[in-house]
Amino acid sequence: MQKQMSAQLSTNRDFIQHPGSKGDSLENAWIEWLRSYLPNRYSIDKAIVIDHKGNTSHQIDVVIYDNYFTPFIFTQNGFHYVPAEGVYAVFEVKPDIRGSIKGSGNYITYAGEKIESVRRLTRTSTSMINSGRTFPARPLTKILGGILATTNTYDNRNNKTIEKHIKSLVNLQGIDLGCVVDYGSFFVDYNGEENTEELDFIKRINEYYEKREFKELHFSRPENSLITFFMQLTQYLQQAIGTIPAIDLQAYLNVIGEEIDKEL
């Protein structure tokens, strides 16, 4: 798996010359790889994330989302629009983790800005039925944010530069994990927990991101980059997040002044 993915990404980088086409090719390679190995309960696409107030995120290279509890995914002209309630994780894709974008700084800072554009959207939560029992609305889940790259050309291939950029991200921008195929996968250990006494779910999740503090950056060995990234991502999705809250469909209908019957 490691060798196949590495060869595919390297081929795309070496032989596709147009920057836009090269970017699309890399994004598609990551999307297809994740689709191949993640359980079918997770959908993976390029997408723009929306909320019931009409706000939108930046265009996101890789979105891992639910299509069961948040079934309406709108597609137009090749763009997918995914409700914020359905999002599990978002990733920025680059050929090299080293680089910069005019007006946004380095690639890691840029990835943080795109992650923030998703996390700042307003999510709803409502009661749901499971095994015939009605459960009350649950707190909003964390949205994982990360960056995926093929290589790392920072001088001396030193983790300190990457760590410095990740530590500079504030509030909703924070990166949780990532993968650099020929260098190693990583996850970020943070200090901070959610305030379970806070009943305003939006305030609760935002305060968690605002108050958590960088503790440590952990890198895998290069030869294990993809498998350790996949295992870390799976652990976060299935054991740390679980099932996302159910979307409140009425909140979306309120915008157009309509109402649905919640009783049968």
Please list the active-site residues: 61, 92, 94
Residues 6 or more apart whose Cβ sits within 8 Å of residue 205: 139, 140, 142, 194
Buried b (16+ CB within 10 A) or exposed e, 90-118: bbbbbbebbeeeeeeebbbbbbbbbbbbb
Cα–Cα nearest to 255, from 100, 101, 50, 23: 50
CA atoms of 36 and 247, how far apart (whole Å): 27
Q: How far is CA 11 from CA 5, 25, 39, 92, in A?
A: 10, 10, 27, 20
